[in-house]
Amino acid sequence: MIKKSLLATLVVSALFTGATANDDMKKWLRPTEVPQPTNNKLTPARIELGKLLYFDKRLSKNDTVSCATCHSPARGWTDEVPTSKAVGFEGRVGPRNSPVVLNSAYQRHQFWDGRAKSLEQQALGPIEADVEMNMPLKELVPKLQKIKGYKPLFDKAYPGEGINKETIAKAIASFERTVVSTESPFDKYAKGDKKAISKDAKEGFSLFKGKAHCVDCHDGFNFTDGSFQNIGLHDGNLTGKELGRYNVKKRAAWYGVFKTPTLRDVTKSYPYFHDGSVKTLKEATVICSHGGRFEHNVKNKSDVMVDRHLSEAEVDKIVEFMKSLTGPDLDIKVPTKFPQ
C-alpha cells in the first residue's frame, strides 16, 4: 500500500527552492505543490487505486494492455519505440510516439495535440482508443464492477460515488499526479552546489538560455512552457495525424503544431518528437537549433524555429546540460497482484 507519507513527500520533495538557490535560479526549481483539482484532491486511497488501475491489463479489451504498456516506469514513462507498435491492442500501430507521463500534472494540456485539458479527461482516451486498449467504457465499467476486490477500494477512495467512468478517470489521474521528476544534478546546481554539474553542462545551460534560444519553448522548472509548435519535421502539405492540433480545431495557427514536451529525464524518453523519428538527443538538438529538419516548403513553421548557427561543440555542450536534467528513477513499487 502507498504510505501516508507519500502526500507529504510529494510536497516536501517539491521544495527544491532551498535557501541556497538565488532568485535567478528559482524559476528552474519545482513549485511547492503538485496541482490538483478541487474535486479530486490527492489521498493515499486514491493514489493506490489509481496505481492498480494504471498497471491492470484487464482495463483493455483482451486483458493484454495497460496504461503502463506504453508508459512504463522502467522505460522513462514511455515505450521507447517510434509509435505504439507491438504494444497496442493486438499489435496495432499507433500514429504517434508515446508521450511521457512524467510531470504531466504540471501541464495545462494533455496528449501531443493538447485535446485533453485535464489528466482526468486524458485518462479515458487510451482506454477506448482502438489502437491502444480498445475497451469501450460501457463495457469496462461493468467489467470492473464484477471484480469484487475493486469495490472496497473505490468505496474508500470515492465514498458514495461507485465504480463509473468518472471515478476510474479520477483514480488514474491521481496516480499520474505522483509521477514527478526526482532531484537531478541540475537541481542541486540550481540550489547552489556549483560542483553538481560539469563545466560543459554549465556552458550548455548558458547556450540553452542564450544563443540557442531553447527557452523560447523549454522554459521553467519543467523545461516546457506548454506551448504548441510546428518545428519543421515535415515539408509540403500535411495529412492525418501529422496535422497535429489542427485536428482538434481547424485553426490556421494550429496547422502541424504539437505540444512542447518536458526535458526532465530526457535521456530516458527516447526516441524524440511526436513521430519518434529521432533516436539521439544530439540529433534532436541539431534539428531544433538549425530551424527544423526542413527550411523550405514548411507550412506554418513556428517563428522560433530559425537556424541559431551553433557549432558542433556548442551542440554537444547543450546536450551535456540536458543530461544533467535526469534524476534517479522514481521509487514506485509496480503491483504484481491485482483485485480479484
* 167 and 191 housed in the same domain: no
The set of residues, in sequence order, having a beta carbon less than 8 Å from that of 147 and lying 6+ positions away, is: 58, 339, 340
pLDDT, tens digit, 9 for 90 and up, residues 188-217: 999 999 999 999 999 999 999 999 999 999
Residue 18 confidence class, pLDDT cut points 50, 70, 90:
very low
Distance CA 63, CA 136 (A): 13
231 shares its domain with 260: yes
Same domain, 205 and 265: yes
Query: CA distances (Å), 233 to each of 117, 171, 200, 238, 301, in order?
Result: 25, 36, 28, 11, 9
**Which structural domain, as residue segments, surrounds residue 249?**
185-323
Say yes or no: 224 and 116 in one domain.
Answer: no
* Mean of all residue pLDDT scores within the chain: 91
- Indicate whether 44 and 190 sit together in one domain: no
In a domain? residue 257: yes
- Is 210 in the same domain as 240? yes
Q: Which residues contact 199 (CB under 8 A, 6 or more apart)?
A: none
CA angle 249, 252, 253 (to 5 degrees): 95
307 SS3 class: strand
Distances (CA, A) of 96 to 20, 80, 241, 258: 41, 12, 8, 11
What is the set of active-site residues? 132
How far is residue 206's CA from residue 252's CA, in Å, rounded to a whole number? 34
Residue 336 lies in a domain: no
Please write the tens of the pLDDT for every residue from 68-119. 998 999 889 988 676 544 355 445 667 788 999 999 999 999 999 999 999 9
Asked if residue 15 and residue 146 are part of one domain, the reply reads: yes
- Best CA proximity match to 275, nearest among 28, 122, 138, 96: 96
Domain count, the chain: 2
87 and 203 together in one domain: no
Q: Is residue 338 part of a domain?
A: no
Residue 82 lies in a domain: yes
Predicted structure pTM score: 0.90
- Give the pLDDT band (50/70/90) at residue 21: low
Residues 253 and 283 in one domain: yes
35 with 130, same domain: the answer is yes
Q: Please give the share of the chain, as a percent, with pLDDT higher than 90.
A: 82
pLDDT of residue 65: 92
Statement to judge: residues 168 and 37 lie in one domain: yes
The Cα–Cα gap between 125 and 169 comes to: 10
Assess whether pLDDT exceeds 90 at residue 220. Answer: yes
